[in-house]
Chains A and B, each alone.
Chain A
Amino acid sequence: MTSALLQTTSAGRRRRDVGMRGVLLIGTIVALVPLFLVLFYVVKRGIGAWSVTFFTTDPTGAFLGDPGGVKSALLGTIEIVLLASLIAVPIGIGVAVYLVEYGKQSPFARVVRYFVDVLTGVPSIVFGLFIYIVLILGGGFGGFAGWKGSVALALLMLPVVTRASEVVLNTVPDTLREAALALGSPRWRIVFRVVLPTALPGLVTGALLAIARAAGETAPLLFTAFAINASNFDLGKPMNSLPLQIWNDVRQAQDRLVERAWGSAMALIVLILLLTIPARILSRRSRTA
């Protein structure tokens, strides 16, 4: 009789349990399959394009004959993204510091916070349009230029950096600040000597991830940086970049150009991974610290 106390759960319930757990597992696999398919395909088609000349020569713009490499695109991406980061990261962290250390829950700070949130949702192409209107149509600034692309990317990165930094700065315990205040330290020194250094790993992670995101963007560059073939270090002129190079190449009929597009795609992904993976490692390590 006692064994009857442990009435085994009905077969229906057990089936549903196993079934739903299977569904969730399948969902996870379905989510990951595209990742592997895409990476695999990019490598498969792009690896053929990689060579020394791929990285060291500029596109020739010729339709027949040697199409050249993508040096200008690679350099261009690095330059444009670098400038964008130099703009967006300090400003983003600065606004975050304001929100956490000074503004806190004041009405003004709440409004700022709200609009930063708003900015995170703006499509990247709208940023491109905005910069186009202001800096290119606006006249007086000249035509397309690398730095204008940087500004568009910086706009994109700004809310991301701000938000991530705010989250990180909030995790710095108040007790640290209070201890420094009790010792008579002025606010600014607390920010620079206590808060920022403590939050540094998280801030770096946020910055790296924002940079990685910006590196992969095409839309904001379409009508700001424009693409030319020659390498140049002058951000005041039109500048090539990997996404633009891919965009142009892939729409051509020539096989070699399409292959080059895939090579560029692979290079772009590698570049992004070089930013993302250290960011994740850093974030993990700072959490277990």
Chain B
Amino acid sequence: MASAATPVERGRPSFGRPRRARLPDEILKWVLTLLAAGILALIGFFFIRLYGEAHLAFSKFGWIGFTFDNSWDVSKSVFGALPLVVGTMITAGVALVVGVPVAVAAALYVTELCPRRLRTPLTILIDLLAAVPSIVYGLWGVFVVIPRLRSIEQWFSDTFGFLPFIGGHVAGPNYFIGGLILAIMIIPIVSAISREVIATVPTDHKEAALALGATRWEMIRMAVLPYSRAGIMGAAMLGLGRAIGETIAVTLVVGNAPEIGKHLFDQGYTLAAVIANEFGEAAATPIHRSALIAAGLVLFVLTLAVNAIARYYVVRAERTGTAAGALPGVTVTE
């Protein structure tokens, strides 16, 4: 004889939450996932639109032609970006050569050598270099650095003129000054990441070196630097990426001459600078505008490549157990 639901069934607790209560969870999850997917869509969109506009220039000059022809002539509407690419490489190269050693030296000093109570103030000061807007660096470069360094540069050019790439008359704004200003601008980021990397060196290894009878510097050389090497390379690559992409500061001090200078102290041009300078007048001319956007695309690809290399180094550092941890963007936890 069938009775109503068995007593066991009636008493069983229900674990499912009613549909209504699960809704906020679902909504939140989908909204956030959509946002994240949106980032991917954005980047895809990025490329497509950029390439779309650049297509005109690429089809007229060819990919290789546009990037590697040495002929940027606005008046004749001929656009080969080689002087810009070379200029970008030279200024970024100078920035690396000057900026990375200084940044790493500062990172080493602050982490390993300086008196404890100076550590925080020095760190804040180094990071403060990043707070100065790039346009201010550019202005300072124009008004202070260029005039002050001119005679020294000329002396250097005359004395060491026998070296390749050195010599010639020193133009006011030039590759070197461009690189110098960039060096100052990449110091905070390279130093911050290097600091984090150096700080993760386990005390064990440092103590092992000291206990063997190593001086402080020998300890740094034996235990700290080899361990941090991959992470520091990653930091340097990130600095390079920043140097390649910097626009305003460079365009004020590099000279904006669309030729490949023969000397370090010649005027030059960079990809970013040409876009900033010529965009105003180019807006009306489709081919010029397309060429500038194509230059932007080349710049984009360049920074992508450099950042990919940076990531490779950081991953390698993490894999060999010599961790890096910190990556680009903002170092929130100093």
Contact = CB atoms under 8 A, between A and B. Distances in A.
B141 to A, nearest CB: 9
Judged by DSSP, the binding face of B is helix
Interface string B163-198: 000000000000000000000100100010000000
Contact of B332 (A243, A273, A283): A283
A31 interface: yes
B2 to A, nearest CB: 36
Given A28-B106, A124-B247, A216-B133, A133 B53 contact: yes
Contacts of A35: 125, 128-129, 132
Contact of B133 (A119, A155, A158, A272): A272
B28 A112 contact: no
A205 interface: yes
Contacts of B39: 95, 112, 115-116, 119, 158
Interface residues of A, number: 99
Contacts of A121: 238, 241, 245, 303-304, 306-307, 328
Contacts of B333: 167-168, 171, 202, 283, 287
Interface centre among B125, B304, B333 (most CB of A within 10 A): B333
Contacts of B223: none
Interface in A206-236: 206, 209-210, 212-213, 215-219, 222-223
Interface in B267-292: 272, 275-276, 279-280, 283, 292
B109 A27 contact: yes
B140 interface: yes
Contacts of A283: 332-334
Given A17-B218, A122-B245, A216 B134 contact: yes
Contact of A247 (B24, B29, B248, B293): B248
A209 B330 contact: yes
A77 to B, nearest CB: 11
B36 A112 contact: yes
A20 interface: yes
B254 interface: no
Contact of B247 (A30, A97, A123, A269): A123
A9 interface: yes
18 contacts: A16-B215, A16-B217, A27-B105, A27-B106, A28-B126, A32-B125, A34-B184, A37-B140, A41-B144, A45-B143, A117-B307, A118-B43, A123-B244, A126-B245, A129-B50, A206-B330, A268-B133, A283-B333
